[in-house]
């Protein structure tokens, strides 16, 4: 299967970190997301924003990596938010009971402002 190459990029702001994920988030790539998030320095009161606008596919391993990111942020006393969640992934969250687990925003800037 060909498509968008998987990537995880991070930028740090005064409000926290934005992790932008692109491509297929699956069993082969989820460990890269986990490693990227675990390497972040988050402070109490900051927010970890996971920008998913470029995600073309997400399996259960990817969802597990997102939950792990939530746990990393929570352990640091930081919040977590999802930005630009693709419709298909948003529906999946609703179906598996995670619809209200992550605050979601149309883009990373809105998530950082809130």
CATH number of the domain that residue 106 is part of: 3.30.750.24
Element (H, E) at 44: none
What is the C-alpha to C-alpha distance for residues 30 and 70, in angstroms, rounded to an integer?
14
> Taking a C-beta distance cutoff of 8 angstroms, is the pair 54, 20 a contact?
yes
Q: Is the pLDDT of residue 7 over 60?
A: yes
Q: Is the pLDDT of residue 110 over 70?
A: yes
Q: Is the pLDDT of residue 27 over 90?
A: yes
Q: What is the pLDDT of residue 2?
A: 55
Contacts (Cβ under 8 Å, ≥6 apart) of 109: none
Residue 31 φ then ψ, to 5°? -60, -30
Q: Is the pLDDT of residue 9 over 90?
A: yes
Q: What is the pLDDT of residue 11?
A: 96
Q: Is the pLDDT of residue 53 over 60?
A: yes
Its domain, for residue 26, covers 7-113
**Domain count of the fold of the chain:** 1
Give the 3-state secondary structure of residue 15. coil
Domain-embedded: residue 40:
yes
What is the C-alpha to C-alpha distance for residues 12 and 43, in angstroms, rounded to an integer?
12
Average pLDDT over residues 45-49: 97
Domain-embedded: residue 1:
no
Average pLDDT over residues 99-106: 94
Q: Number of helices and strands (H, E) in the chain?
A: 4, 5
Contacts (Cβ under 8 Å, ≥6 apart) of 46: 15, 16, 17, 76, 78, 79
pTM for this predicted structure? 0.94
């Amino acid at each position: 299967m060909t498509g968008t190459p998987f990537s995880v990029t991070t930028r740090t702001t005064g409000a926290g970190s934005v992790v932008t994920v692109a491509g297929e988030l699956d069993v082969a790539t989820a460990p890269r997301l986990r490693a990227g998030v675990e390497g972040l320095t988050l402070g109490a009161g900051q927010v970890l924003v996971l920008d998913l606008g470029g995600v073309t596919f997400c399996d259960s391993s990817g969802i597990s990596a997102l939950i792990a990111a939530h746990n990393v942020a929570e352990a640091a006393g930081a919040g977590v938010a999802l930005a630009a969640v693709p419709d298909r992934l948003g529906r999946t969250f609703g179906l598996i009971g995670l619809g209200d687990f992550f605050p979601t925003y149309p883009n990373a800037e809105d998530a950082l402002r809130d």
